[in-house]
């Protein structure tokens, strides 16, 4: 489904004597006015912690949002990325940091800068392609930094553009949304334990205790060609997003996770409670989460 329109050529100034820097771009006022006139609101909080046991934090996260007021508000944009370096491998912390930064750099170049220049976002197909390319660029950067294949990382990225949510995902970090009083996972884990559940060889309860529950079937930085899951969703008028590593969701039961996310409190209080719940369950892994409350 494609809700966007191609941005027309910039209009010429009504004053032929007016001069502008060559980098300035005239905005199409009609198109921008047809976008939402309401000011979008985001409240965001995150934690990226070592946990109770690990000596080094192999998780990484990145947050980027834009806000612009005035008669012609900028299309709301937010980027929320979580990566979990592969535990037990050399330089997992470098892999996760590289992946988040390279993916964000690609999206800034191909989504944010065109938005600033043109006043309107790219179409859905172009945004999905940009998400796919961003993860592939991150994958290549992680592999080139350690071609022996001894490093790797998950990567889950959520990009909000206006009222559209674009997802790109590899591994077992997760994205959730809370809408209409229900918490729903938006990603599927690329792990051995999830595959065994999918084919009916493990129950959810057995999976929680499974010896090889941390074995990934897909990760950035490995030799094999990478397949990236992407998806597009329409955001409701209000709700919450959660992007997190398995050090958070893996130590909190689904009911507890939903109960905490449902609380009518600030994202900072929510992420603090999620962190404390993971720590109360042992905190055996690094713990990372980004909570976004949105009103569009």
Give the pLDDT confidence score for residue 271 in this predicted structure. Answer: 98
Q: What DSSP element (H or E) covers 208?
A: helix 204-209
Q: Which residue has the tokens 């006015």?
A: 33
Higher pLDDT, 115 or 30: 115
> 242 pairs with which residues across the strands?
176, 291
179 inside domain: yes
- Rounded to an integer, what distance in angstroms lies between the CA atom of residue 272 and that of residue 79? 21
Once rounded to an integer, what is the mean pLDDT over residues 46-54? 96
28 inside domain: no
| pLDDT, tens digit (0-9, with 9 covering 90-100), for 65-78 | 987 778 777 788 99
| pLDDT, tens digit (0-9, with 9 covering 90-100), for 217-251 | 999 998 778 999 999 999 999 999 999 999 999 99
| pLDDT, tens digit (0-9, with 9 covering 90-100), for 80-111 | 999 999 865 568 999 999 999 999 999 999 99
6 inside domain: no
CA distances from 102 to 62, 97, 215 (A): 11, 9, 24
SS3 sequence of 239-293: EEEEEECHHHHCCCCHHHHHHHHHCCCCHHHHHHHHHHHHHHCCCCCCEEEEEEE
203 inside domain: yes
Backbone φ and ψ of 242, nearest 5°: -135, 125
10 inside domain: no
Give the pLDDT confidence score for residue 228 in this predicted structure. Answer: 97
Give the pLDDT confidence score for residue 116 in this predicted structure. Answer: 84
pTM of the model: 0.84
Give the pLDDT confidence score for residue 99 in this predicted structure. Answer: 97
254: domain CATH number is: 3.60.40.10
> Which two tokens mark 231?
């998806």
Give the pLDDT confidence score for residue 29 in this predicted structure. Answer: 39
What is the widest separation between alpha-carbon atoms in the chain? 74
Give the pLDDT confidence score for residue 214 in this predicted structure. Answer: 74
Owning domain of residue 242: 40-295
103 inside domain: yes
pLDDT at 206 over 70: no
265 inside domain: yes
21 inside domain: no
Give the pLDDT confidence score for residue 31 in this predicted structure. Answer: 35
Number of domains observed in the structure of the chain: 1
């Amino acid at each position: 489904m494609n809700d966007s329109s191609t941005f027309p050529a910039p209009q010429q100034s009504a004053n032929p004597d007016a001069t502008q820097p060559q980098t300035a771009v005239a905005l199409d006022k009609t198109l921008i006015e047809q976008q939402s006139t309401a000011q979008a609101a985001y409240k965001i909080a995150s934690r990226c912690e070592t946990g109770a046991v690990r000596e080094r934090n192999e998780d990484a996260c990145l947050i980027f949002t834009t806000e612009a007021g005035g008669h012609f508000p900028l299309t709301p944009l937010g980027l929320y990325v979580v990566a979990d370096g592969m535990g037990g491998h050399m330089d997992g912390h470098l892999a996760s940091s590289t992946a988040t930064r390279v993916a964000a750099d690609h999206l800034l170049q191909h989504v944010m800068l065109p938005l600033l220049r043109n006043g309107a976002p790219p179409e859905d197909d172009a945004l999905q392609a940009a998400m796919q390319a961003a993860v592939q660029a991150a994958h290549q950067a992680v592999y080139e930094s350690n071609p022996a294949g001894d490093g790797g990382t998950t990567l889950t990225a959520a990009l909000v553009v206006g009222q559209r949510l674009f997802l790109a995902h590899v591994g077992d970090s997760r994205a959730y949304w809370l809408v209409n009083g229900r918490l729903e996972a938006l990603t599927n884990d690329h792990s051995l334990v999830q595959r065994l559940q999918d084919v009916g060889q493990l129950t959810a309860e057995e999976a929680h205790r499974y010896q090889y529950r941390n074995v990934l079937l897909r990760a950035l930085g490995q030799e094999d060609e990478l397949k990236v899951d992407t998806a597009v969703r329409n955001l409701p008028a209000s709700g919450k997003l959660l992007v997190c590593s398995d050090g958070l969701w893996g130590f909190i039961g689904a009911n507890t996770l939903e109960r905490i996310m449902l609380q009518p409190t600030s994202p900072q209080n929510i992420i603090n409670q999620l962190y404390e719940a993971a720590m109360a369950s042992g905190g055996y892994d690094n713990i990372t989460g980004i909570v976004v409350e949105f009103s569009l």
